[in-house]
Amino acid sequence: MTRVNLNVPFSEKDEAKQLGARWDPSSKVWFVPEGVNPHLFQRWLPDPPPDVTIRANSYRVAETEDTCWKCGELTRMYSFLLPAGYQTFEQGEDYIDAWYTNEGASMVSYVTDLLPTVVAHIKSITRHYYLDFSKTTNSSYWMNHCEHCGMKQGDFAMHCEPGGAFFPMDEEDVSSIKLQHVNEPFSCNGSTSYDSLISDL
Ligand SMILES: [Zn+2]
């Protein structure tokens, strides 16, 4: 059984303690000990998990060129850059289930459940970025495809390998990524990453 962590503000900690909540000093979180009814702590229970775990008030469409691994031609690749202040929903033993605000910007990869307005926007820019099945992840996600031969261009090489199209190694790599600001909300499921070069964008 997963432990029930509580979202107790500092000013209400004595009250929570009196009702029987315990403090976990290593995770710095109040929790409901086994055998105690969690409903006593209703007001501090965490939010239920949302449908999507990544969100932002605005985003940028990132565009760069890279070589298609299949045909060797240069093709445009797209991704999304979320500004500092974007939020991720975290859950598990070490967290209070909640939205956390991130201080740096981040690319997103392995994107699913993209907000329909974002889908409409990216489709107005390219017809080569669409939901497709990956044998590597054994799942579908929003993926780039070569403009010349149509081959899938998976996120691993682009986002997870140093020097990949969206994993810049120096300022020159960074400057080759064109950014188009979109002042509309963004949400999806997927992965974010910490990269000091991207973080300041
Ligand atoms: Zn190609």
Tens of pLDDT, residues 67-94: 999 999 999 999 999 999 999 998 876 6
Q: Are residues 180 and 140 in the same domain?
A: yes
Q: Are residues 40 and 82 in the same domain?
A: no
Write down the mean pLDDT value for the chain: 92
Q: Are residues 67 and 94 in the same domain?
A: yes
Query: Which pLDDT value is given to residue 11?
Result: 94
Query: Which pLDDT value is given to residue 94?
Result: 67
In a domain, 157, yes or no: yes
Q: Are residues 190 and 106 in the same domain?
A: yes
Q: Are residues 34 and 88 in the same domain?
A: no
Q: Return d(Cα 199, Cα 11) in angstroms, integer.
A: 33
Q: Are residues 34 and 79 in the same domain?
A: no
The 10s digit of each residue's pLDDT in 21-59 is 999 998 888 999 998 888 899 999 877 778 999 999 999
* Helix, strand or coil, per DSSP, at residue 171: helix
In a domain, 49, yes or no: no
Query: Which pLDDT value is given to residue 46?
Result: 78
pLDDT confidence tier of residue 95, bands split at 50, 70 and 90: low
Span from the CA of 191 to the centroid of ligand 1 (angstroms) = 25
Q: Are residues 126 and 92 in the same domain?
A: yes
The 10s digit of each residue's pLDDT in 156-188 is 999 999 999 999 999 999 999 999 999 999 999
Q: Which one, of 191, 168, 190, 189, lies nearest residue 179 by Cα?
A: 168
By residue range, what is the domain housing residue 13? 4-44
Residue 198 in tokens = 């991207």
Span from the CA of 12 to the centroid of ligand 1 (angstroms) = 59
The answer to whether residue 1 scores a pLDDT higher than 60 is no
The residue type at 67: T
Phi, psi of 124 (to 5 degrees): -75, -15
Q: Return d(Cα 56, Cα 188) in angstroms, integer.
A: 10
Q: Are residues 74 and 116 in the same domain?
A: yes
* Domain count of the fold of the chain: 2
Span from the CA of 147 to the centroid of ligand 1 (angstroms) = 7
Span from the CA of 3 to the centroid of ligand 1 (angstroms) = 49
In a domain, 95, yes or no: yes
